[in-house]
C-alpha cells in the first residue's frame, strides 16, 4: 500500500498498519498486509516482527507488539515500529499506533466485520505523518479456507492528500502446520505519478506454525512499495494467550 517514490512515511505507515493480530482464529498477520476482522480475547498479547529485502536494495524492518483490552468491545491496541531504507539509501524510522475493534464475530459460514485506524509519526523528526482508517471483512468458508477483503482511507500530511486503500487475500491450510497465503492490495489516489502509486501490489507465501503460539513466514512480493521490485520477506510471530480464569 505504498509508493516509495512518494517519499511519504504516511503511505508506508498505511502499508504496515494493515497488519493484523489475531488468536486461535487468526488471520494472515505478520508481514502480510490485508487485515482480517478477528480480534483475540481480552488480555491476549503478541509480537510480530519481519524483515523485507528488495531487488533494488530497499529494505523494511518492523516489529509490532499488541495487546487486547476489554473496552466497549475487545479492542486490540498495537504499536508498529518501522525502519526503512529506500533504493536511494535514505533511511527512515516511524511509529504507527493502531486500534482495532471487532463488530461482527469471525465464524465459519458467516461474515465477520471490524474497524481499525490510527495515526502515524516520523520518529526522526517527531512530526505527525498521517492517519489511516481500514474496514476488514472476513468470510470463513471452513476451518482451512478464509477470504479477507479490506477497504479504507489514508491521509498523507506531507502532501495533504487523501487516498483510498483496498486489498483482498486468501488463506488456505492444505495440511498442518502449513498455511498458504496470497494477497493483492493498493491505493487509489490523485498523486501526479498516479500509475506508480496505484499499480496493484502482490504477495504470496507460506506460514509454518510448529506450535500454536508461534509462526514463521517466508513471502515473495512484487511491487510492494510501488517501485516494481521483487521482495523477499521473512517473519516471526509470537502470541501470548490471556491468563486462565482460575489463575490469580
Q: Where are the domains of the chain?
A: 4-240
Integer Cα distance of 51 and 16 in angstroms? 12
Integer Cα distance of 169 and 48 in angstroms? 19
Please report the pLDDT score of residue 158 as a whole number: 81
pLDDT band at 18 (very low <50, low <70, confident <90, very high): very low
CA proximity to 224, closest of 172, 167, 175: 167
**CATH 2.160.10.10 at 4-240, yes or no:** no
The residue-averaged pLDDT of 192-207 equals 79
Q: Answer for the pair 182, 192: CB distance below 8 angstroms, yes or no.
A: no
Please say if the pLDDT value at position 5 is more than 60: no
Please report the pLDDT score of residue 229 as a whole number: 87
Percentage of the chain beyond pLDDT 90 is: 56
C-alpha distances in angstroms, 216 versus 36, 195, 220, 230? 19, 33, 14, 20
Q: Answer for the pair 163, 133: CB distance below 8 angstroms, yes or no.
A: no
pLDDT band at 26 (very low <50, low <70, confident <90, very high): very low
Pairing status of strand 111-122 against strand 230-240: unpaired
The residue-averaged pLDDT of 39-47 equals 95
Task: Please state, rounded to an integer, the average pLDDT across all residues of the chain.
Answer: 84
Please say if the pLDDT value at position 219 is more than 60: yes
Integer Cα distance of 91 and 155 in angstroms? 22
Amino acid at each position: 500500500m505504498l509508493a516509495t517514490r512518494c517519499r511519504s512515511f504516511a503511505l508506508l505507515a498505511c502499508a504496515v498498519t494493515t497488519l493484523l493480530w489475531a488468536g486461535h482464529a487468526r488471520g494472515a498477520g505478520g508481514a502480510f498486509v490485508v487485515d482480517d476482522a478477528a480480534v483475540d480475547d481480552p488480555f491476549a498479547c503478541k509480537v510480530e516482527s519481519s524483515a523485507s529485502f528488495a531487488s533494488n536494495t530497499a529494505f523494511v524492518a518492523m516489529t509490532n507488539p499488541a495487546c487486547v483490552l476489554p473496552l466497549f468491545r475487545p479492542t486490540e491496541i498495537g504499536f508498529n515500529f518501522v525502519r526503512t531504507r529506500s533504493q536511494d539509501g535514505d533511511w527512515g524510522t516511524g511509529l504507527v499506533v493502531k486500534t482495532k475493534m471487532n463488530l461482527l464475530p469471525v465464524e465459519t459460514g458467516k461474515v465477520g466485520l471490524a474497524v481499525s485506524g490510527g495515526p502515524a509519526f516520523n520518529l526522526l523528526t517527531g512530526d505527525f505523518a498521517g492517519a489511516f482508517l481500514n474496514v476488514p471483512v472476513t468470510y470463513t468458508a471452513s476451518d482451512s479456507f478464509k477470504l479477507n477483503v479490506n477497504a479504507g482511507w489514508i491521509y498523507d500530511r506531507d502532501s495533504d492528500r487523501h487516498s483510498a486503500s483496498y486489498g483482498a487475500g486468501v488463506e488456505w491450510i492444505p495440511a498442518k502446520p502449513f498455511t498458504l497465503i496470497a494477497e493483492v492490495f493498493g491505493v487509489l489516489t490523485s498523486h501526479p505519478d498516479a500509475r506508480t502509486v496505484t499499480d496493484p501490489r502482490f504477495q504470496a507465501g507460506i506460514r509454518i506454525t510448529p506450535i500454536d503460539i508461534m509462526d514463521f513466514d517466508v513471502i515473495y512480493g512484487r511491487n510492494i512499495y510501488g517501485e516494481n521490485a521483487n521482495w523477499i520477506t521473512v517473519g516471526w510471530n509470537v502470541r501470548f494467550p490471556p491468563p486462565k480464569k482460575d489463575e490469580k
